[in-house]
Amino acid sequence: MIPPVGFAIAALTVMLWILWSDSIRPRRASQAMYALRVATYLVVVGVLILNRLRYPQSFSGSATIAVILAVLVGLFGAFWFGRRLVRRM
């Protein structure tokens, strides 16, 4: 089983990579892709929060900080792609 801090770091890595790759892409993605990204970011945020609330004994202080940081990046990413989705409509 992956430790909580590992899951948070993996989520951060993937979410930041998706944000970065979208910011340098010259051509915009389709509306469906933006909707999928918003949904994915919100699902990851939900899973991180649910795991933190359901299994508090598994989280150290540094793991909790990593989860909080990943949740903030996830919410920012959902807002970022949601804004781009609305702008395209």
What is the per-residue pLDDT across 64-78, written as a single tens digit (0 to 9) for each? 999 999 999 999 999
Number of domains in the chain: 1
- The pLDDT of residue 88 is 62
Torsion angle defined by CA atoms of residues 82, 25, 27 and 81, in that order, rounded to the nearest 10 degrees: 0
Mean pLDDT of 38-48: 97
pLDDT band of 29, cuts 50, 70, 90: confident
Q: Between vectors from CA 36 to CA 66 and to CA 69, what angle results, nearest 5°?
A: 10
Max avg pLDDT among 4-8, 43-47, 83-87 = 43-47
Owning domain of residue 60:
4-88
